[in-house]
Amino acid sequence: MDTLTLALAGRAGARIAARIGIATNRNTLLRRVMDLPDPAPTEPRSIGVDDCSLHRRHVYGTVITDAVTHRVLDLLPERDAATLAPWLAAHSEIEVICRDRAGAYVEAADAAASQAQQVADCFHLRQNIANSVKRTVTGHRS
C-alpha cells in the first residue's frame, strides 16, 4: 500500500485502490504520505551554487543545492568567495560544483574545493548561446 501511496497519492491513488478492492479516500492516502519519515540525508557529491535574492532586489546571498535531489542545502548571507569558501572546505566530499560564471564562485572553489570539478549549469549555457546568437544575427541583419 505504501508503494501505491507514494506513487500516486491523492485522487489517482484512491481510484486505483478502489479498483483493487481497498476502501480508502484521497485524504487518507495524503496523510499516509505525510506520516512517512523523511529519507536520511546523504552527503552530496554534486552541488549547484548560484546567487539568490534574500530580500527582493536589495539583499543577495548564495544558495547551495544538491544537484541530484535539488534539495536546498544552505543559504549563505553573502555572494562572495569569503562566505562560500569555508562552506566548501567543510564539505570535502564534493566532486562536482555546478555554477555560473561569477568570479567569486570560481575563486572559492579553486581555494577550498580543488578536488571538485567545476561545470557550467544548463541555464547559463543556454543564456550565453542565446545572447551570442542574438548579437550575431543583429550584427548581420542587413
* Parent domain of 26: 2-35
Tell me phi and psi for residue 25, to 5 degrees. Answer: -135, 170
Domain assignment present for residue 54? The answer is yes
90 lies in the same domain as 118: yes
Cα(137)–Cα(133) distance, integer angstroms: 6
Q: Is the same domain home to 77 and 21?
A: no
Residues of the chain whose pLDDT is less than 70?
Answer: 1
Q: Is residue 140 part of a domain?
A: no
Percentage of residues of the chain with pLDDT beyond 70: 99
Same structural domain for residues 18 and 71?
A: no
pTM score above 0.85: no
Query: What is the per-residue pLDDT for 1?
Result: 66
Total domains present in the chain? 2
Judge if 121 and 56 occupy the same domain.
Answer: yes
Same domain, 51 and 18: no
CA distance 137 to 142: 9
64 and 105, same structural domain?
yes
Q: Are 97 and 49 in contact (CB under 8 A)?
A: yes
Residue 16 contacts by C-beta under 8 Å, 6 or more apart in sequence?
4, 8
54 and 107, same domain (yes or no) = yes
Specify the pairing of strand 46-55 against strand 96-99. parallel
121 and 62 within one domain: yes
Residue 29: its pLDDT value, please?
87
| Same domain (yes/no): 110, 62 | yes
Whole-number pLDDT of residue 62: 92
Note whether residue 40 is domain-resident.
no
Cβ–Cβ < 8 Å for 48, 121? yes
The three cell numbers locating residue 106? 570560481
Amino acid at 33: V
pLDDT at 134: 94
